[in-house]
Amino acid sequence: MQERFGIYLNTKELKVARINSPYWIPSEPDWVFLTPEVNMTLLKIRDLAREKRLVGEPEKIVWT
């Protein structure tokens, strides 16, 4: 399994998780790999989710 550190988005719960450790890698389909940039701000994460059209209301995305 290839480790994929970065930011993951749960499109159903509108939550994001910063993964920078191999102890828990979120699984699909609930979690979508959004970006490898682990230091991205929540505002930029919302913009990216909007650009990729992953959720209808990106302003409701919060950290998990």
Residue 1 falls within a domain, yes or no? no
Amino acid, single-letter form, for residue 37: E
Residue 37 falls within a domain, yes or no? yes
> Which residues, including other chains, have CB under 8 Å from residue 63's CB and lie 6 or more apart?
15, 16, 17, 18, 42
How much is the pLDDT for 1? 41
* pLDDT tens digits, one per residue of 4-44: 899 999 999 999 999 988 888 888 888 999 999 999 999 99
How much is the pLDDT for 3? 62
Identify the domain containing residue 28 by its residue range. 6-63
pTM to 2 decimal places: 0.88
> Which residues, including other chains, have CB under 8 Å from residue 35's CB and lie 6 or more apart?
6, 7, 45, 48
**Structural domains counted in the chain:** 1
* pLDDT tens digits, one per residue of 37-64: 999 999 999 999 999 999 999 999 999 8
